[in-house]
Amino acid sequence: VTGASFVVFNGALKTSSGFLAKSSIVEDGLMVQITREAMESLRQALREKKNFKIACGKTDAGDVKEYVDICWVENEEKTNQG
């Protein structure tokens, strides 16, 4: 689990790169590089306020161990205070 001050989603990852998606820590935030198709799916999920999961790593890797989860929460009172 990584806490971040901001998240950047970059939809310019080429399918030919050999990666499903890439995530990296940039300053005090997180940058997630995804394909154009994944970006469209993410946008749709955000519009519909649905959870979304991005699997990161090599395309040919059998067991993906890194995910970026976008989750909607019911109780906002305890988030982003101060």
CATH 3.30.1360.220 fits 6-70, yes or no: yes
Average pLDDT over residues 30-47: 96
pTM: 0.79
Return the pLDDT at 11: 95
Tell me the domain boundaries of the chain: 6-70
Question: How much is the average pLDDT of 42-59?
Answer: 94
Q: If you write DSSP's letter for every residue of 3-59 in order, what string do you get? A: --S-EEEE----GGGSEEEEEEEETTEEEEE--HHHHHHHHHHHHTT--EEEEEEET
Confidence of residue 43 (pLDDT cuts 50, 70, 90): very high
Per-residue model confidence (pLDDT) at position 78:
62
